[in-house]
Amino acid sequence: MATDRARRRTLTLSAGTIIVLVVLYITGGVLTGLRTAANVVVTPFAWTISEIAHPIGHMFAGVVNYSDVVSQNQKLRYELGQDQLKLNEEWALNRQLQQVTTQLNVPFVGSLDIIPAQVTTVSPTNFSASIVLSKGRDQGVLSGMPVVANGGLVGIVTSTTPSTSTVRLITDINSSLGVSYDAAGNTIVVSGKGVNNGLIATGVPINTPILPGQMLTTDGLNGGLYPPGLPVARVTKTSLTPGADTYNLTLQPTANLRDLAYVDVVEWEPST
């Protein structure tokens, strides 16, 4: 009896195995069946990984796209600044055309060569203000050349290397320059007040008519550091002490010195 029972069990197992093999063969074979089973197990995990990976991919794509947007905005601000500089120069040129002086023979930036450069380093402190440019002696940049951007004068090149140059901004406390304030070519001296503090002119004679909103430009006379007519600043405030024979001016640079990405070095030297 035991032997018959064992034989029946063996036959049953064999028949079951044959049936399973036939079914697997019909549905694509043993390997396909195993793959199907594996897919059933793996699919939920694959879906989870996909759901996590897609947002991460979008995040990295967003970072790349944001970087492109920032670069495009910097270039756009540079181009808009050039347009504003041209408008300010045209205003200054119209004023200088009224002067019967030797200044009429000195060119504006519009007729001078320029060297476009990118700002690579901004080094402001509470007292000094400077930037480093991506162009140097090998590209024609020399100490003493003026730098313009964003609608006006930025500063002057103070030192160079073969591939870089350092510019002292007009707001640096060690910066001072002569500016013209009327069609007759009368001038005053303005000085930097430090980073983000603009410019100031002190000891202006009481009989000198300078009003808020008035634009001041470089004078360029007597071998000055700058060619004439570069927009420098606008008057924002006049301060008068009762009984005094002089007054002070608070000035705002025409160039946006807080957002410098690209500038133009003007190929001009005092001796030219």
Give the pLDDT confidence score for residue 57 in this predicted structure: 55
CA-CA-CA-CA torsion sign (112, 113, 116, 121): negative
Give the pLDDT confidence score for residue 107 in this predicted structure: 43
Give the pLDDT confidence score for residue 101 in this predicted structure: 34
CA-CA-CA-CA torsion sign (68, 74, 75, 76): positive
Give the pLDDT confidence score for residue 254 in this predicted structure: 92
pLDDT tens track of the chain, all 272 residues?
A: 555 666 666 666 566 565 555 444 445 444 444 444 444 444 454 444 455 555 555 554 555 567 777 777 777 777 777 777 777 766 666 655 544 333 333 345 667 889 999 999 988 776 678 999 999 999 999 999 999 987 889 999 999 999 999 999 999 999 999 998 887 778 899 999 987 788 999 989 888 889 999 999 998 765 567 888 899 999 999 998 888 899 999 999 999 888 888 999 999 877 55
CB 261 within 8 A of CB 119: yes
First to last CA, the chain: 124
Give the pLDDT confidence score for residue 47 in this predicted structure: 47
Give the pLDDT confidence score for residue 160 in this predicted structure: 97
Give the pLDDT confidence score for residue 75 in this predicted structure: 76
How far lies 41's CA from each of 20, 122, 266, in Å?
Answer: 20, 57, 70
Give the pLDDT confidence score for residue 58 in this predicted structure: 55
Residue recorded with tokens 């930037």: 131
Give the pLDDT confidence score for residue 170 in this predicted structure: 95
Q: What CA–CA distance (Å, rounded) separates 97 from 271?
A: 23
